[in-house]
Amino acid sequence: MSQVKIKKGHDIQIAGVPKKELEIPGQSQTVAIHPTDFRYIKPKLLVKEGDNVKIGTPLFFDKRNPDINWASPGAGKVAAIHYGPRRVIEKMIIEIDKDEESVELPVLDTAQILESPKEKITEQILNAGLWPMIRQRPFNKVANPSTSPSSIFVSCFNSAPLTVDLDVALRNRQSSFRAGIAVLSRLTDGDVHVSVGENSISETFMDIPHAKTHSISGPHPAGNVGIQIYHIDPLKPGKIIWTVEAQHVVTLGGLFLKGVFDPSIVMTIGGPAVNKPTHFKTRIGTAIQPLIKDRLNDGPNRFISGDVLTGKTNDKDGYVSFYHSGVSVLPESDEREFLSMLKPGSSNSRYSLTNAFWSFRRSLFPFTTSKNGEERAMVPINSWENVLPMDIFPNPLFRAILANDVEEMEQLGLLECDEEDFALCSFADASKIDVGAVIRQGLDVLEAEG
């Protein structure tokens, strides 16, 4: 096991940390899938409103790569298809039947998986509609099944605030997880890299066969797979690396061991507006409503699918996004404090990465959605550099993207970056610039260039 120590970064001391216990929420009557969660695809529907579907029935496919389709995470009736501006399919809602049926596929045990050629494994995942669980870097998009990745990364360490503790989530899931790793090992000629948090005590992650294990330590974003790739097997132009969420590895393993798509997943509910934050056993694409029932503080709140740094704003009646495994709830704030810029600050009202505020108490901080300032021109006081554990100059990169200088973007290492790795830069910035959005803008340009 190799050791990777990340020094730069920051663990945000936000209140509402999920309890390390698994609870079962009231069952969601509906589930949903958002085609907008997947970058650079052109979805084409395979079902219409009112159709009956099983778990695993393909709902839509990508016109650009028709082999890739998306499995239904529930069995029942397609209740609604929501369109956004310009007829973009925003979400498909499925009403769940009492008795759910699943699409059945061949069963393979671990030994058979290891003997199967890459094509057979790929075919089974594509047929099951679970290929979108495999994403590729650069660009962090759904992988192209006809390419061959140099290696595959699985991060079993979540460092972002209020996210799932994978020790809790993967308890007693060892056999499916290992089968999933075996599946991935067939998809690449290189290594499968599994990174585990230094303090993990889970048996699931001990001595994993067919993978290289790395022990990761350090503050967020140490758990981001992009940061781990940078430190273990860095990207370069032309090189492709695939990544899979740890819980999706279990789903993929289960797909082969049982022959069916088991959409169950562990999620968290957390944040300063949640009074009983915890881990839940629920399913992919669950409705938010059953998770937050009887757990919220009063007041206007913001519901976020995913974590508070990279998640998407959602609403109370919304659904969790495909790659997200948590709901964060923040109080919305319009409070305007008198002469706040002169206040010395206390832990009740102030929180900063700089030492520009002083307080004696150190407690978890109830963040709100306040921007805490207005957007301004860049004043480079190193707030980006201090939280970015990569040898990349964020400031020149940011400028190159704004100037639309494709060559310089590549030379400054944009292909090794993803917006989620820059979320902390936006968090820490005194000028309130959204760095991650600009990084994505640059990646979009490079992706379009091909």
Residues 363-392, interacting with other proteins (CB under 8 A): 367-374, 376-383, 385, 391-392
Is residue 334 within the footprint of other proteins (CB under 8 A)?
Answer: yes
| 44 Cβ contact list (under 8 Å, min separation 6) | 60, 61, 62, 63
- CA dihedral (399, 400, 403, 404) positive or negative: negative
Segment interacting with other proteins (CB under 8 A) among 132-140, 204-212, 273-281, 309-317: 309-317
CA 325 – CA 323 distance, rounded (Å): 7
Residues 106-135 that bind other proteins (CB under 8 A): none
Segment interacting with other proteins (CB under 8 A) among 105-113, 133-141, 278-286, 325-333: 325-333
CA 119 – CA 122 distance, rounded (Å): 5
Which run of H or E residues covers position 80? Answer: strand 76-83
List residues bridging with 152 in a β-sheet. 192, 242
Contact 415, 384 (CB under 8 A): no
| 428 Cβ contact list (under 8 Å, min separation 6) | 10, 353, 383, 384, 386, 387
Between residues 126 and 430, which has the closer beta carbon with respect to other proteins? 430
Q: Given candidates 9, 35, 221, 311, which one binds other proteins under the rule CB under 8 A?
A: 311
Residues 11-40 that bind other proteins (CB under 8 A): 12, 14
Fill in the DSSP letter of residue 37: G
Which run of H or E residues covers position 282? Answer: strand 278-283
Q: Given candidates 206, 356, 402, 403, which one binds other proteins under the rule CB under 8 A?
A: 356
Q: Given candidates 18, 180, 413, 442, which one binds other proteins under the rule CB under 8 A?
A: 413
Between residues 159 and 383, which has the closer beta carbon with respect to other proteins? 383
Contact 418, 226 (CB under 8 A): yes
Q: Given candidates 45, 240, 353, 364, which one binds other proteins under the rule CB under 8 A?
A: 353
| 241 Cβ contact list (under 8 Å, min separation 6) | 136, 137, 149, 150, 151, 152, 153, 229, 233, 235
Tell me which residue has tokens 């056993």: 281
Min separation Cβ 231 and other proteins, Å: 13
Between residues 245 and 420, which has the closer beta carbon with respect to other proteins? 420
Min separation Cβ 308 and other proteins, Å: 5
Residues 428-447 that bind other proteins (CB under 8 A): 428-432, 434, 436-437
Min separation Cβ 23 and other proteins, Å: 24
The C-alpha R_g of the chain, in whole angstroms, comes to 22
Q: Given candidates 395, 444, 445, 446, which one binds other proteins under the rule CB under 8 A?
A: 395
Is residue 337 within the footprint of other proteins (CB under 8 A)?
Answer: yes
Segment interacting with other proteins (CB under 8 A) among 107-115, 257-265, 288-296, 406-414: 406-414
| Residue 370 main-chain phi, psi, to 5 deg | -65, 140
List residues bridging with 71 in a β-sheet. 58
CA 241 – CA 61 distance, rounded (Å): 23
Between residues 52 and 340, which has the closer beta carbon with respect to other proteins? 340
Residues 148-187 that bind other proteins (CB under 8 A): none
Between residues 56 and 436, which has the closer beta carbon with respect to other proteins? 436
From first CA to last CA, the distance across the chain in angstroms is 36
Tokens standing for residue 24: 């079962």
Is residue 396 within the footprint of other proteins (CB under 8 A)?
Answer: yes
Residues 68-107 that bind other proteins (CB under 8 A): none
Min separation Cβ 398 and other proteins, Å: 11
Residues 227-286 that bind other proteins (CB under 8 A): 234, 236-237
CA 260 – CA 392 distance, rounded (Å): 43
Residue 85: count of CB within 10 angstroms of its CB: 6
Min separation Cβ 317 and other proteins, Å: 19
Q: Given candidates 186, 248, 302, 324, which one binds other proteins under the rule CB under 8 A?
A: 302
